[in-house]
Amino acid sequence: MGDNQQWITVDEVVASYLDRIEQDGNKYFKIWQIAFDGMKQLGLDFYYTIKSLKLPINANLTVNLPADFLQYTKIGVLNDSGDVIPLTYNSKLTSYADLFDARLQRTQDFTLGTLANVGNFIFYNFWDGYGFFETLYGLPSGGPFIGSFKIDYENRVILLNETFFYSYVILEYVSSPNPKQGTYYVPMQFKEALLAFIAWKDVQFLPNTRKTGLADKLALRKDFYNERRLAIARYKPINLEELYEANLRNVRLAVKI
């Protein structure tokens, strides 16, 4: 991470909370899970670990998702330079029978026929001021179609189109956090907000007693949202000089127009 002075680990936040409430490590895993729920509430879940795996294709053109999969960032195949060439997301792929070996036979219907010579069509979509370029998102319109995919989150598989011919896919994804693997960092500005969230959730579902009454729980909730507001303000502070320069640019642009 380089210079970590502006960062703090989740372990340090958890340890700090346990020290404040004078508890030992018996509550560690409970507090650790609460801390990661707090990261979601604070919008810090993009600090989760990104993993990259080369996964085999099942006979029915599906791919099993890893157990720690949360969401994908990239799905594709490799080229001769080691780059990941992404597949196209296809919302039309059906998840029907995606756990059956004969998925393709169950989902194909040739009543409507097939379109022939689709690759011969030319799509013009880029105008540079002088003429049209025969490219689509930087790729030649007549280039090879690698394949398309869709994810069935309920059954935890990737669906591939029927013409996909590779024996693998490269999956880059956000993995579920694991307290036993890796070190997770968050910006120092969010330390107090994360501690406030832990304090609130640690007692939220406890019975109302003299130690933790309803008023206490409401106060902890209010404290969290206040700390979250302050953390976001500190993390992205308003720079008056940048605002001034931006206003000057807008004025110059308006004068030119």
175 band by pLDDT with thresholds 50, 70 and 90: confident
What percentage of the chain reaches a pLDDT higher than 90? Answer: 21
| DSSP-derived 3-state class of residue 100 | coil
Does residue 150 have a pLDDT over 50? yes
Tell me: pLDDT of 132 over 70: no
Q: What is the pLDDT of residue 82?
A: 84
Question: 126: pLDDT confidence band, cut at 50, 70 and 90?
Answer: very low
* Amino acid letter, 121: F
- Specify the DSSP element, H or E, that contains 128: none
Tell me what the pLDDT averaged over the chain comes to: 76
pLDDT of 55 > 90? The answer is yes
**Residue 65: exposure state from Cβ atoms within 10 A (0-12, 13-18, ≥19):** buried
**What is the spatial distance between Cα 130 and Cα 103, in angstroms, rounded to a whole number?**
49
Per DSSP bridges, beta strands 148-152 and 88-89 are parallel
What's the confidence (pLDDT) of residue 255? 61
Please determine, for residue 43, whether its predicted confidence score (pLDDT) is greater than 90.
no
Instruction: Report helix, strand or coil for 172.
Output: strand
Q: Which sequence spans correspond to the domains of the chain?
A: 7-47+177-256, 50-173
Residue 51 binned pLDDT confidence (cut-offs 50, 70, 90): confident
CB–CB of 61/159 below 8 Å? yes
Higher pLDDT, 107 or 164: 164
What does the pLDDT read at residue 123? 44
Q: Half-sphere exposure (CA, 13 Å, Cβ side) for 46?
A: 3
Q: How many CB atoms lie within 10 A of CB 17?
A: 21
